Chains A and B, each alone.
Chain A
């Protein structure tokens, strides 16, 4: 069975940094385009950012609220996706999901909770 497992969520103070990881299993991670999607408490789903496969350039795109603060990277040798979050704000509090993308988001992890609070 294919799956994604996120980790790294924590309580962090405003202005702080955090790195989330997403471990992939049972599919060819290296050719997958990977995304992060978040859900703030009581809110809907919000796309955060994407990284293409290395064969497709390995480039990234970000949503406006996180651009210049968040970055996405991948280690295909470890089948792992990362979300590097800097200058965190209270409004970044959310469950963060990693997803595969074939246009639409077809495989989702169970998410990891990030809480930004003083």
Chain B
């Protein structure tokens, strides 16, 4: 199984500041035949279902604010919130869909300072 490890476990950021979440996979999730990284990011707010933010490591879903961006390749990935807003309070998960069983990172809780 591919193990996904996020850092940090929690993050406290001031409104308007940058938040950076890292995700590392135990093996590469890059598929060379199509040059795609099989890595997604989700936002999970209390009392709501998880919401897909980014797929293919860097493709923002329709309707997701452009302050959210994803980067990285192979085994190391980053989710960046460029200017934190109050509504971004949530737990963020990375997930690999390169091979079953599909696995998630342990989550990073983003709090407002």
Contact = CB atoms under 8 A, between A and B. Distances in A.
Tell me, yes or no, whether A binds B.
yes
A44 B107 CA distance: 6
Contact of B38 (A61, A103, A106): A103
B55 interface: yes
A45 B44 contact: yes
B100 A61 contact: yes
Interface in B52-88: 52, 55, 61
Contacts of B93: 44-45
Interface of A: 35, 37, 44-47, 50, 61, 63-64, 97, 101, 103-106, 108-111
A45 B95 CA distance: 9
Given A45-B104, A47-B102, A47-B104, A103 B55 contact: yes
A110 B104 contact: no
A103 B49 CA distance: 18
A75 to B, nearest CB: 22
Interface of B: 38, 40, 42, 44, 48-52, 55, 61, 91, 93, 95, 97, 100-107
Contact of A105 (B52, B105, B106): B52
A105 B39 CA distance: 11
A47 B104 CA distance: 8
A44 B106 contact: yes
A37 B93 CA distance: 13
A47 B101 contact: yes
Nearest to B105: A44
A105 B44 contact: no
Contacts of B44: 45
Nearest to A6: B49
5 contacts: A37-B50, A44-B105, A101-B97, A103-B97, A104-B55
B104 A46 contact: yes
Nearest to A95: B49
Nearest to A62: B101
B98 to A, nearest CB: 9
B101 A64 contact: yes
Given A44-B107, A45-B50, A105 B40 contact: yes
B105 to A, nearest CB: 7
Contacts of A37: 50
